[in-house]
């Protein structure tokens, strides 16, 4: 790959003169850098520039555009920095940022992982360029966010997004259309990359482990005393991690016998975006069904609801699916139930399903 030469000139002063004397640096005010030529790529989804620090990643990235500089108003919530509420929630959840309580907090109080995901949610658009991708976050967060980002970009049909990173561990998780290695100037086809498998195991557990997950439940920290509890362990790339929690409750009704319902399902923030939530929820539903029990779920979480509404999810909509409690405009009192068709209206959408098993 052909390289070009980029030069930069600075004023010489007492500081540069002192460095020249201390370190015997030959410097007359001008520095030269070799830059990799822009690869001949076009009409792609995601491209990735990969290589160690000092190998020319950032210079090459500039050939594709200028990275957007975000401003965060400390007097506004994170969710208030988007075009509209639905756009905000859709984008934040699309990058694995699923804690609704953090949506309404200001950016500066978020964790490093949450800040990274919030910034990513705002930057993702046609032609976006993002330098130092995942450099500031834990590697589990990096991989989870990469998977979530790839899923969103594909679903939204975004084009010509270019990332730059020194971290090779995310390559198979991003699954770019192409990646350019600045170590040797080689352009690779990334379409054949395969994401490492994630093995999930579900174990019965004592209710005391709920304390590890309670702060991350999107609605409530409470756990019913009659809850049957399960913990999820994920193994990928040779490392095991506790990643999730599911609990269930007896569901006594006058007409349905031996019924149970989902009670609490939580995936730890570092692992959100990998698709773990639906898998562990389904696994616990299977356990109950294999014991001859019927299993139901009612949730206000839009990603869970949308997943279960899909034809081959293994879940069947009940007659109460997509009903919401409607609030009176003047008094804020409940006026009854209303059927609504999609997430994003003024009413709180509730999804209701029975697990029937995957075919």
Q: What is the 3-state secondary structure (H, E, C) of 286-331?
A: HHHHHCCCEEEEEECCHHHHHHHHCCCCCEEECCCCCEEEEECCCC
Q: What is the mean pLDDT of the chain?
A: 89
Amino acid 34: pLDDT: 77
- Alpha-carbon span 286 to 357, nearest angstrom: 7
Amino acid 326: pLDDT: 47
Please state the pTM of the whole predicted model: 0.82
Which residues are 230's β-sheet partners?
204, 246
Amino acid 104: pLDDT: 94
Amino acid 115: pLDDT: 95
Per-residue pLDDT reduced to its tens digit, 231-274: 999 999 889 999 999 999 998 766 778 899 999 999 999 999 99
CA distances from 282 to 19, 247, 310, 335, 359 (A): 63, 12, 14, 34, 13
CATH class of 38-189: alpha beta
pLDDT over 70 at 53, yes or no: yes
Amino acid 321: pLDDT: 83
pLDDT mean over 177-201: 94
Amino acid 119: pLDDT: 96
Instruction: Say how many C-beta atoms besides its own lie within 10 A of residue 177's C-beta.
Output: 17
Boundaries of CATH 3.40.50.300 in the chain?
38-189
Amino acid 343: pLDDT: 53
Boundaries of CATH 3.40.630.30 in the chain?
199-355
| Helix 85-94 × helix 112-123 angle, to 10° | 120
pLDDT mean over 322-327: 57
Per-residue pLDDT reduced to its tens digit, 98-135: 888 899 999 999 999 999 999 999 999 999 999 999 99
Q: How is domain 199-355 classified at the CATH fold level?
A: Aminopeptidase (3.40.630)
Amino acid 328: pLDDT: 40
Amino acid 330: pLDDT: 39
Per-residue pLDDT reduced to its tens digit, 123-177: 999 999 999 999 999 999 999 999 999 999 999 999 999 999 999 999 999 999 9
């Amino acid at each position: 790959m052909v390289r070009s030469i980029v030069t930069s000139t600075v004023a010489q002063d007492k500081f540069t003169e002192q460095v020249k004397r201390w370190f015997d640096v030959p410097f007359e005010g001008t520095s030269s850098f070799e830059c990799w030529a822009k690869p001949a790529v076009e009409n792609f989804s995601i491209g990735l520039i990969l290589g160690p620090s000092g190998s020319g990643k950032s210079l090459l990235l500039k050939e594709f555009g200028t990275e957007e500089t975000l401003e965060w108003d400390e007097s506004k919530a994170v969710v208030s920095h988007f075009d509209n509420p639905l756009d905000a929630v859709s984008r934040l959840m699309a990058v694995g940022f699923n804690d609704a309580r953090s949506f309404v907090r200001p950016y500066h109080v978020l964790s490093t992982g949450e800040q990274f995901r919030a910034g990513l949610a705002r930057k993702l658009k046609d032609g976006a360029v993002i330098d130092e991708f995942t450099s500031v976050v834990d590697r589990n967060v990096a991989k989870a966010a990469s998977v979530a980002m790839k899923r969103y970009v594909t679903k939204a049909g975004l084009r010509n997004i270019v990332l730059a990173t020194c971290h090779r561990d995310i390559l198979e998780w991003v699954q770019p259309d192409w990646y350019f290695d600045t170590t040797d100037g080689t352009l690779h086809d990334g379409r054949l990359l395969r994401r490492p498998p994630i093995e999930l195991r579900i174990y019965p557990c004592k209710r005391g482990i709920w304390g590890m997950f309670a702060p991350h439940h999107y609605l409530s920290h409470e756990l019913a005393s009659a809850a049957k509890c399960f913990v999820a362990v994920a193994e990928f790339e040779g490392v095991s991690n506790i990643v999730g929690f599911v609990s269930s409750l007896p569901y006594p009704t006058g007409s349905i016998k031996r019924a149970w319902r989902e009670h609490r399902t939580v995936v730890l923030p570092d692992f959100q975006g990998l698709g773990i939530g639906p898998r562990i929820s389904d696994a616990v539903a299977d356990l109950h069904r294999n014991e001859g029990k019927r299993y139901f779920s009612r949730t206000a979480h839009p990603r869970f609801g949308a997943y279960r509404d899909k034809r081959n999810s293994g879940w069947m909509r009940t007659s109460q699916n997509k009903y919401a409690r409607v609030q009176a405009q003047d008094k804020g009192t409940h006026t009854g139930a209303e059927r609504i068709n999609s997430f994003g209206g003024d009413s709180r959408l509730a999804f209701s399903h029975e697990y029937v098993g995957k075919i």
